[in-house]
Structure 1
């Protein structure tokens, strides 16, 4: 098989890149290790920067998002039973969209089906070859038979544990990482949101977040030790803990119900440099991980797709190499800014085991400054709604 761009990974970044390229007449093949049903069952983020909203519209997959998504013009930070509202619209003129990653993936699959896009599921042993040559190719095993795809470029959209980043020689690749000493216990429930906007709460017992996917589907989190197991937390225990940590007015009107999904996610900050080696380009979680506090994971993948898509478009339409040559530098500039924001939000809103009284006072002072400084609120809002591509 021959294609122009071989895309390893059939999550939202791989599907979005394929969809954008197809609309411009550039061929691609997507290779996904899991089944389609498995990909669609993954519950992930749901806060979209406006740049990602526009990119989905450009890809022709924004209709359902525009009809069902929820526009948020601000968010709430809570501490010591008082609430600070960050007014995105007033401070930046922008907003964010609440629309689940699972829904985005559904929309992208529907679009790829409608256009006859090639997505190969249950592709085992995917291996890129010749990445430092002018003729790369990718091999994989399907139904016990090995197949080969010759291509011009390889896009590694296969996540943190995928093969793409591991294909870059260790003498070239540099990795930066911080692992946080806690995780998020998350519960998905068919209940209305606790508020019209997201609530980020810091409490002496730890962080909490009241989020949403739809008007009838909520996602809530509490900070827990890494030693905790999902089995340690009954639904009743989770709801009781969440109510302790969020403002009293929100706790009083919180609607509880059975969990339909419950998991504990560790938090880490991670960046790999460079994001290009030869004919390979890393995209999304293959190159970087952020703690979810800043809602940047999916959005950073989208900005990577934007840079790579435009670089490939310039290469194939105009024969100009600058976009591809500059991909890693441009993507990493935005990645590190998002890493900084996610790191700062995590430090401001979580209880750390070794922070002591001094650390607690520093957090309280930071929130007090934020509450009374328009400049500080503007900086937070600018980063939350998304820095320009």
Structure 2
């Protein structure tokens, strides 16, 4: 029997029992759709977290103060006042393989323009902060070294701040008040959107670091130092050199704890990617269980089909159909169920993924790999669970089959 004939007979048989065939495919459809939808959710989580970390800058090291310890009572992380602007300059001057260094401080203030006001985060930064964080100026300019040296009262604002204070008016050149102190807006940033944790990255104002330290906060220390390393391969080396330099500058003896912390965002991203990959794999495996259930449904229906068509099988064997002819016919029939169910499942899974993204305001990422794997698995399920019924049909004795009522 030719393959094309067997395929045509399989389609005819499935069409003759449309409802039963559809219910049989349902397990495969749900399984494939669930795999694609859940894996897309897992990939979306991974993409969100990765983008959030990447938005802080590529090849980043973040240096923060350690926690204070007074009378045995430990303060919060970063509560010490050990990092200085001079530490940042020493890191830039003495350590190789570094592109940018930008110390920063931050606090929240009420911002006023005319009759409008808005409370937001105000960060004191240097000119290099723009390159480190990959910020883009929409209008105007960013903070310069001259602004730093003169302690100028200038500000660069995010789009959220601009929309709440100025509506559709161009804010560049306008004067605002930060904590009742006058500042001139010199730049408007292009939007960066929300981070993976839902934080609005455009709800911020940047002012010169020296202005923030001396005119706003009245401090001499910095709250963090952002370092961009020239290449990913040099990350660990540069981190070790920074730790040694700061221990020397802060006169920390051997065996004593550091009064600072250096976080490697590349290592953090690798850890996050491993965790989210495991989450995606787990979600896919859970969804894959329904494919197994669907395969059992295929075997069950194929067993019923063999029983119903026992006389037909006996006639074909009596007319010369071989063991392989009968095997091929029933295997193709079960595989067709897997193929059609897989195709419908792919369509449903992609649709469900899009619905989750729109309704849940959540990022989902559909990739070709889970689609191909789930489709191959659905066809394989049809083949695997069709073998036993096909063998049973092919081994029927033609005389007994012809006598079957």
TM-score range, shorter chain: under 0.3
TM-score of the pair, normalised by structure 2: 0.21
Higher relative contact order (CA 8 A, sep 6+): 2
Q: Which has the larger radius of gyration?
A: 2
By percentage of residues, which structure has more strand?
Answer: 1
By percentage of residues, which structure has more helix?
Answer: 2
TM-score of the pair, normalised by structure 1: 0.21
